[in-house]
Structure 1
């Protein structure tokens, strides 16, 4: 018995995708509010370690902004929005094809590389607290995204305009296809060019081992069990999500865009990156800033002294986090504020 026919799968997976993308956008706005609030608080804080942590705020903005851009770009390819009565229904076929190409360039070429490079910069910067410039790290992060953007843009916009070699099949370069029949849908279906999938896979082969090596080095520095759980959770997510993302995009070339199998694979690809983006924002942005703001609230502002908080604090992962209540280990787990 078939539980999901193509129209049902398109609507069901479309609604779930729309809900998750909206939730990720809201999470991005929340993360941005945390970054801006902490920047304002750190500039006025007497606790100098908070100012060191705040130095990476431009990189956090890139992480949040790239996640925001990725969620928006995923809406460009969503079949639900091309159905009768939805946002892209009245667009012509050429305009919808342009949205599919734009999705490849914006999502695979810009948002995903910038997101993962920003995560690497934050993880590496957290092990070099107080060293380097956050603006310089942000510049290097954005500059490092340009090669991927150029390659994916060429695959999406350039190669289809060129005369394709005979050995290069259409699914290597095409980012859209036309439906075989109507069914309330006009225009085109977005797909994943196999060359873009190969480029993404090559980037992941270079990124994932380096990120895991940084995580391993971080575990040697972490003296807080809660932070250790965060590092393990982030590492596991980064290990699994890109692999699922690339495999789903690669296997999807065996089906047409309106086939139920393609819709399931496209949703699986979306879900893997969505989970990775949400976990990274929570662990690398929201939680460390929330911990730091909690510690800052314990520091008196009416005199020049800096009082130690009632729990031991650590300065790893770029965060100030209350240590678990362990009286035997409390003193040796304390890492005091930076001295001026």
Structure 2
């Protein structure tokens, strides 16, 4: 006699799929972090890698924003809160869970994603520069450009200045729903005003990023590097508008509706694709090329190495050391 396994409820299946994808992204971020640290250590004994290692702080910022975004996504997953937060924080009330949802919105749409996107833009712009800028200037550029968006998200989510003027959906960051057993479940949502603010940022960023990619493509002659730029541009310029569109349309349904959950999960997949492409193309692959180019330099004798270094450097950069 065969036993037919019981299918998981849709909510649980979506939550488990999201948790699995977050775990994969965290593993990729750990791998990227290991590559950056390995290049830092390698550059101490191989001076010719010093130029390739000059942007390690910016790449660490890219990895950190991706990691933080993945961890913040866990806050809005009811399965994670129910099985991992509540057992350790049994006094966690519905109001406190609603506050976690507010933190999720602010950190996700106001900090993590903007910092990631601006770091990608910075790395693409700097790839065509002959001289790398000061690391502190790079960090100041990213956080300075992100600060207005973060402040707007904090105002609209925590202070809710428009609740009395506009419908509830414009400021709603959480929703209480009853599960199959009749228990109340706090569902995290995206306020429409937060989506509008992030959408305005996304449109501005997309135009700047498209212009930057066009400049890079006009200078790059290496076929492999052109392919990487095409993939990165496609991942960003398709995923970001699609994420904004899905989040904007999702407000037409209640947060406990299957269509709403599907659209929010689709928006999560868009951001996931963008972060994976960013780490793979801007962190892992350039470091692999830098180490490969450095290894070829090390094969020459000491008397020839200083001469060959300058010849190898442009070739290595064409292979994608910076991009």
TM-score, normalization: structure 1?
0.84
Corresponding position of 2:321:
319
Distance 1:258 1:191, change over 3 A: same
Q: How many residues are aligned here?
A: 309
Distance across 2 between alignment mates of 1:28 and 1:304: 39
Q: CA deviation at 1:17?
A: 0.6
Partner of 1:201: 199
Q: Aligned-pair distance for 1:73? A: 0.6
Please point out which of 171, 194, 215 is paired with 1:173.
171
1:132 aligns with 2:94: no
The residue that corresponds to 1:13 in the other structure is 14
* CA separation of 1:227 and 1:318: change in aligned 2, threshold 3 A: closer
What's the offset of the Cα at 1:224? 1.5
One of 229, 253, 256 as aligned partner of 2:254: 256
Identify the residue that residue 78 of structure 1 maps to in structure 2. Answer: 77
Runs of 4+ in structure 1 off by over 3 angstroms are 85-90, 180-187, 307-310
Question: What is the alpha-carbon distance in structure 2 between the residues aligned to residue 275 and residue 171 of structure 1?
Answer: 28
* 1:304 Cα offset (Å): 4.6
Q: Which moved more, 1:214-223 or 1:128-137?
A: 128-137
Task: Name 1:242's counterpart in structure 2.
Answer: 240
Two-structure CA RMSD over aligned residues (Å): 2.4
Report deviation, 1:74: 0.5
SS in 1 for 2:16: helix
For the 8 Å contact 1:221–1:316, the answer to whether it is kept is: no
Counterpart in the other structure of 1:51: 50
Instruction: State the SS of the aligned residue for 2:296.
Output: coil
Change (3 A) 1:13 1:187: closer
2:102 is aligned with 1:101:
yes
Give 1 or 2: higher helix fraction: 2
Mapped partners of 2:125, 2:302: distance in 1: 34
Q: 1:45-88 CA deviation, whole Å, 9 max, x = no partner?
A: 232xx3223221111111110000100111100122244x4434
The answer to whether residue 61 in structure 2 is matched with residue 62 in structure 1 is yes
The answer (yes or no) to whether the contact 1:92–1:187 under 8 Å persists in 2 is no
Q: Which residue of 2 aligns with 1:303?
A: 302
| Cα gap change, 1:184 to 1:287, in 2 (>3 Å) | farther
CA gap of 1:117–1:291, structure 2 versus 1, over 3 A, is same
Q: Is the 8 A contact 1:55 1:133 kept in 2?
A: no
- CA deviation after TM superposition for structure 1 residue 43, in Å: 3.7
In structure 2, stretches of 5+ residues that fail to align are 1-7
Q: Which fold has the larger relative contact order, with Cα–Cα distance below 8 Å and residues 6 or more apart in sequence?
A: 1
Q: 2:185 & 2:93 partners in 1: Cα distance?
A: 6
Q: 1:232 to 1:186 in 2, by over 3 A?
A: same
Q: How far off is 1:314 after superposition?
A: 4.1
- Report the alpha carbon displacement of residue 320 of structure 1 after superposing the two structures with TM: 7.4
Tell me the residue number matched to 2:156. Answer: 155
Deviation track 1:226-275 (CA, whole Å, cap 9, x = no partner) reads 11110000001111101111111111112222211111011001000011
Deviates more, 1:126-135 or 1:241-250: 126-135
Q: Distance in 2 between matches of 1:174 and 1:104?
A: 10
C-alpha contact (below 8 Å) 1:295/1:320 kept by paired residues: no
On the 8 A contact 2:286/2:320 being kept in 1, the answer is: yes
Partner in structure 1 of residue 124 of structure 2: 123
Shift of 1:206: 0.4
